[in-house]
């Protein structure tokens, strides 16, 4: 295997589709269910086998992954794209929580923070996943909440915990001990040398089991009163956000120093939106709006459309350089212009996604060296508007053509421990959920929040989100993403759907913090430009750029600053390619696997089936039929 892969990378013009994969392609005719844990994929398969559609199955997988702590919990956030086969449209679901009423810039600065904290109750936005799940199921599913939550309820009653999660608890036990309800739940061997569960130990979550059961009870009671299926599901929603579940969540959060109130929970609602899209060589690519980093992929594709990528050769030095530069241009815009569209100022998305603006940005790429000081551009003229932040950008040291900064970046890339911590924050994980059925429903979700070490909210079993850390406290960094009550932070979470000739072509998502759209961009190009199948594309060697502001982790500017010129390469990258990149000014590092845990579905209209891909990165798993 290693020898075969090395041949592919040693000769970039070799026919890439011949490469071997470590996991097989998944095939299905009726349905496909893929997510971050084998048991959670099984939950989706169970729903499909009982006659549910892709939305039903996706909701079951979402519930199962939250219950299994697959780098997320029930108190986190959900963002989804759904293809509706009857309307032939892509629907966007915004189920990201909001900042509590007391969460102001002044509050966090008074506590000595440069960014909202990484962990604990002050890091929590309001829970979004329970509401997002109920909304999707009520409006686009066919099953009851009881049916969809049945696998998760069984898991909450006790499941054998995987080594990955068990060891994460042990590593993070010092944080877990800070919060009494977390300590009670996670440290099943308190006082022993190893306090976390052992791999394979049956992990029981009595409080979460009770919470999920209460939601099902609310649905049943509503049905007995003659309510419709949809109304009954939303009765469960109401019990979570305004009833006794909400009361205990708020009590437990505030007891531990958190800010969430009953009013914060009651006023939050999931939002159904129009997705953003661009066309790349005849393929319509859909992403969520600018409250995510999703438009980065769209901007990158617009820039790359100006180059003949295929002729460069897969992962040649020129190809790597070109996509690195394109991503950096897009990320520079993300870091300054993206934020919650329901708050002023209005983000210039029309300009940012225009082909003309992207051609201007593409013209900044120098093919003899890495541009380490690239900054945000000015998309406002492409909306026939004047940029209101010209003076702020100049104060930051940016020229308005986005070509340079007037100061040298203060990045200490020589400190290896600093780089290791940066990489950890860059890759901070979540999970992804992909589902499709023969009726034409397609769902792509990247849920997250409430990852370990999580602060449990009282006796609910709910791990609170940590998404507040993605806000900034200084408008100099991003005037669109400063924290404010009721506002949503700009997140890294970014599912994707692509349509070709009006029909589903690809559904794909990945975990990994700021690297998500980097990996998804390269996955997409692997298929469209280099004719890989979906499994090959999930496993193929990618690169990661560190030349961006971190969205997660780090409590001061120095920890979040871009690492100018830093690039992660796959270990199999040939020496000739490495040397060329070093000559262009890159600071290189290497990993065995760089593709990220990508999950994806390819729609084979010629033969009438699905091809599923699930990366060889971790525990991600798929089942098809």
3-state secondary structure 208-252: HHHHHHHHHHHHHHHHHCCCCHHHHHHHHHHHHHHCHHHHHHHHH
**Hey, where are the domains in the chain?**
49-78+92-270+439-470, 273-427+494-624
Q: Is the pLDDT of residue 117 over 80?
A: yes
The answer to whether 430 touches 447, Cβ cutoff 8 Å, is yes
The 3-state DSSP composition of the chain as helix, strand, coil percent (nearest 5) reads 40, 15, 45
- Tell me the CATH number of domain 273-427+494-624, given options 3.90.550.10, 3.40.390.10, 3.40.640.10, 1.10.246.130: 1.10.246.130
Does the pLDDT of residue 413 top 60, yes or no? no
Q: Is the pLDDT of residue 182 over 50?
A: yes
Of 510, 529, 535, whose CA–CA distance to 520 is shortest? 510
CA–CA gap between residue 200 and residue 548 (Å, rounded): 39
Whole-number pLDDT of residue 429: 65
276 pairs with which residues across the strands? 287
Whether cis (ω within 30° of 0) applies to the bond prior to 245 is no
- pLDDT one-digit tens code per residue, 122-173: 999 999 999 999 999 999 999 999 999 999 999 999 999 999 999 999 999 9
**Confidence at residue 286, expressed as pLDDT on a 0 to 100 scale:** 99
DSSP class of residue 463 equals B
Element (H, E) at 349: helix 349-352
Give the pLDDT of residue 418: 47
Quick one: DSSP state of residue 488? P
In whole angstroms, how far apart are CA 2 and each of 6, 430, 487, 590?
6, 28, 48, 16
Residue-wise pLDDT for 242-263, tens only, equals 999 999 999 999 999 999 999 9
418 in helix, strand or coil?
helix
The pTM score is 0.94
Confidence of residue 16 (pLDDT cuts 50, 70, 90): low
Return the closest-CA partner of residue 52 out of 135, 132, 150, 128: 150
Q: What is the pLDDT of residues 515-543, one digit of tens each?
A: 999 999 999 999 999 999 999 999 999 99
Query: In this structure, what is the dihedral angle of CA atoms 377, 380, 386, 391, given to the nearest 10 degrees?
Result: -30
- Cβ neighbours around 244 below 10 Å, total: 13
**What pLDDT score was predicted for residue 409?**
24
* Calpha distance 34→29 (Å, rounded): 15
> pLDDT-derived band of residue 420, with 50, 70 and 90 as boundaries?
low
Determine how β-strand 433-437 pairs with β-strand 283-287: unpaired
Give the tens place of pLDDT for each residue, 428-454.
568 999 999 999 999 999 999 999 999
Give the span between the Cα atoms of 499 and 284, in whole angstroms.
5
Assign 263 to helix, strand or coil: helix
- For position 411, what pLDDT does the model report? 23
């Amino acid at each position: 295997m290693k020898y075969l892969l090395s041949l592919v990378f040693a000769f970039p013009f070799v026919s890439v589709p011949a490469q071997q994969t470590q996991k097989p392609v998944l095939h299905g005719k009726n349905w496909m269910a893929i997510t971050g844990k084998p048991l959670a994929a099984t939950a989706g398969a169970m729903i499909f086998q009982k006659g549910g559609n892709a939305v039903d199955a996706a909701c079951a997988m979402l519930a199962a992954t939250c219950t299994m702590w697959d780098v997320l919990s029930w108190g986190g956030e959900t963002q989804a794209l759904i293809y509706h086969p009857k309307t032939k449209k892509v629907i966007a679901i915004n189920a990201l929580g909001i900042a509590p009423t007391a969460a102001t810039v002044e509050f966090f600065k008074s506590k000595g923070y440069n960014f909202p904290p990484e962990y604990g109750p002050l890091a929590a936005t309001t829970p979004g996943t329970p509401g997002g799940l109920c909304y999707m199921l009520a409006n686009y599913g066919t099953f009851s909440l009881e049916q969809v939550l049945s696998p998760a309820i069984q898991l909450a009653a006790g499941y054998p915990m995987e080594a990955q999660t068990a060891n994460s608890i042990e590593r993070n036990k010092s944080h877990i001990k800070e919060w009494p309800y977390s300590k009670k739940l996670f440290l099943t061997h308190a006082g022993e040398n190893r306090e976390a569960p052992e791999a394979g130990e049956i992990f029981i979550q009595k409080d979460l089991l009770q919470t999920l059961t209460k939601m099902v009870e609310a649905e049943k009671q509503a049905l007995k009163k003659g309510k419709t299926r949809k109304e009954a599901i939303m009765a469960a929603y109401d019990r979570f956000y305004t009833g006794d579940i909400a009361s205990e969540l708020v009590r437990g959060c505030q007891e531990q120093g958190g800010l969430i109130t009953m009013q914060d929970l009651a006023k939050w609602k999931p939002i159904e939106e129009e997705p953003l899209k661009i066309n790349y060589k005849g393929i319509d690519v859909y992403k969520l709006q600018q409250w995510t980093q999703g438009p980065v992929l769209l901007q990158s594709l617009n820039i790359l459309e100006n180059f003949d990528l295929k002729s460069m050769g897969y992962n040649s030095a020129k190809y790597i350089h070109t996509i690195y530069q394109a991503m950096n241009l897009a990320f520079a815009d993300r870091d300054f212009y993206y934020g919650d569209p329901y708050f002023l100022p209005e983000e210039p998305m029309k300009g940012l996604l225009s082909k003309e603006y992207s051609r201007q940005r593409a013209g900044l790429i120098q093919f003899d060296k890495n541009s380490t000081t690239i900054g945000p551009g000015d998309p406002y003229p492409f909306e026939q508007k004047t940029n209101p932040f010209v003076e702020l950008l100049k104060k930051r040291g940016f020229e308005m053509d986005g070509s340079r900064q007037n100061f040298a970046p203060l990045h200490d890339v020589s400190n290896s421990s600093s780089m290791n911590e940066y990489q950890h924050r860059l890759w901070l994980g979540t999970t992804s959920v992909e589902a499709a059925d023969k009726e034409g429903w397609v769902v792509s979700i990247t849920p997250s929040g409430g990852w370990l070490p999580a602060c449990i909210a009282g006796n609910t079993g709910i791990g609170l989100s940590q998404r507040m850390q993605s806000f900034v406290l200084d408008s100099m960094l991003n005037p669109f993403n400063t924290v404010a009550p009721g506002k949503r932070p700009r997140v890294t979470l970014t599912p994707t759907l692509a349509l070709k000739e009006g029909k589903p072509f690809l559904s794909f998502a990945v975990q990994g913090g700021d690297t998500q759209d980097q990996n998804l961009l390269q996955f997409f190009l692997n298929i469209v430009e280099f004719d890989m199948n979906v499994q090959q594309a999930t496993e193929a060697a990618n690169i990661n750029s560190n030349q961006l502001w971190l969205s997660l982790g780090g409590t001061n500017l120095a920890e979040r600053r871009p690492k100018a010129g830093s690039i992660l390469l796959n270990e199999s990258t040939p020496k000739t390619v490495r040397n060329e990149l070093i000559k262009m000014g890159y600071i290189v590092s290497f990993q065995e696997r760089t593709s990220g845990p990508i999950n994806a579905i390819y729609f084979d209209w010629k033969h009438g089936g699905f091809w599923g891909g699930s990366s060889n990165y971790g525990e991600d798993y798929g089942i098809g039929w």
